[in-house]
């Protein structure tokens, strides 16, 4: 399968690098286009087998799948210029651009399309990637899931749930980072060096996530294991609740939809 990626910014570049490291697309079957040369040079330095060009049309012409990693306000202009064929697969990474809009911009109502919302951890192959499909076969859906499961965790959802899932994943990673930042600051106040506090907290968050993902358990179950009667942890948990921690997280998620 030949894949064109339109846009070599943070997300387009990360997807290109992830694809090149995966088992479904050969690196020399990936071509990335970008108007400025600097990002393409950096990408080729990291992955020499990837092809690059400044011409979007050249990139898309021979591709089976075209990944659109451009800003939402550029999508219409870019798609009109590409003049894609109906048998190509379009994958949009632009938040807020619906399938109906993509169909209008391409001129093909029956075209196979995917909307994709990764998060910034895709650069480390640790993304949570939300995928919605339109006019796709079960085999095409499986292919997209397989490709992006190699870059973390990929999940297929209806388009109607994309905004909510984006809040949990693409925005949600910032909220997790905000907790890490706050806990690090607490550690500094308690006399721990900043770099050491940061590593302790980051590893604790990573460990908590692995408990959930690997053991198919629930946060309440894992919290109960460390909250001994009269112990320190339950005092901290209760203080979080008194200070509105749960409500603050829920409100943040709802605000980012």
For 50-59, the pLDDT digits (tens) are: 999 999 999 9
Taking residues 156-167, what's their average pLDDT? 96
* DSSP bridge pairs for 164: none
Distance CA 21, CA 29 (A): 12
Q: Which pLDDT value is given to residue 257?
A: 86
Q: What is the DSSP letter of 97?
A: -
State which fold the 3-160 domain adopts. Answer: Rossmann fold (3.40.50)
Rounded-to-integer distance, Cα 137 and Cα 165, Å: 22
Q: CATH 3.40.50.720: which residues of the chain?
A: 3-160
Which of the four pLDDT bands, split at 50, 70 and 90, describes residue 181?
Answer: very high
**pLDDT of res. 236:** 97
- pLDDT, one tens digit per residue, over 50-87 is 999 999 999 999 899 999 999 999 999 999 999 999 99
Separation of alpha carbons 106 and 85, rounded Å: 9
CA atoms of 130 and 146, how far apart (whole Å)? 13
Give the pLDDT of residue 71: 93
CATH code 1.10.3730.10 region(s) in the chain: 172-255
3.50.40.10, 1.50.10.10, 1.10.3730.10, 3.30.420.240: CATH of 172-255: 1.10.3730.10
**What is the pairing mode between strands 113-117 and 152-156?**
unpaired
Average pLDDT of the chain is 95
pLDDT digits (tens, 9 = 90+) for 190-236: 999 999 999 999 999 999 999 999 999 999 999 999 999 999 999 99
Dihedral angle sign, alpha carbons of residues 91, 129, 34, 50: negative
Strand segments, DSSP code E, in the chain are: 3-6, 30-33, 51-53, 65-68, 89-92, 113-117, 127-134, 152-156
249 pLDDT more than 90: yes
First to last CA, the chain: 35
Q: Which of 77, 109, 111 is nearest to 6 (CA)?
A: 77
Q: Which residues lie across from 51 on neighbouring strands?
A: 31
Q: At 123, is the pLDDT very low, low, confident or very high (cuts 50, 70, 90)? A: confident
Question: In the structure encoding, which two tokens stand for residue 42, read together?
Answer: 């950096």
């Amino acid at each position: 399968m030949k894949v064109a990626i339109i846009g070599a910014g943070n997300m387009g570049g990360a997807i290109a690098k992830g694809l090149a490291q995966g088992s479904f697309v050969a690196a020399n079957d990936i071509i990335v286009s970008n108007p400025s040369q600097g990002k393409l040079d950096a990408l080729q330095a990291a992955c020499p087998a990837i092809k690059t060009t400044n011409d979007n049309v050249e990139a898309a012409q021979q591709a089976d799948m075209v990944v659109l990693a451009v800003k939402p306000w550029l999508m219409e202009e870019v798609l009109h210029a590409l003049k894609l064929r109906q048998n190509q697969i379009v994958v949009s990474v632009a938040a807020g651009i619906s399938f109906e809009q993509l169909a209008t911009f391409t001129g093909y109502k029956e075209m196979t399309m995917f909307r994709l919302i990764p998060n910034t951890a895709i650069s480390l192959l640790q993304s949570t990637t939300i995928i919605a499909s339109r006019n796709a076969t079960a085999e095409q859906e499986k292919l997209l899931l397989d490709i992006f499961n190699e870059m973390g965790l990929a999940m297929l959802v209806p388009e109607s749930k994309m905004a909510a899932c984006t809040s949990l994943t693409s925005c949600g990673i910032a909220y997790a980072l905000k907790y890490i930042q706050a806990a690090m600051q607490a550690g500094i106040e308690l006399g721990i060096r900043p770099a050491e506090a940061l590593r302790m907290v980051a590893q604790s968050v990573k460990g908590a996530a692995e408990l959930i993902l690997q053991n198919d358990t629930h946060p309440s179950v894992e919290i109960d294991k460390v909250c001994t009667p009269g112990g320190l942890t339950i005092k901290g948990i209760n203080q979080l609740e008194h200070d509105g921690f749960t409500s603050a997280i829920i409100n943040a998620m709802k605000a980012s939809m």
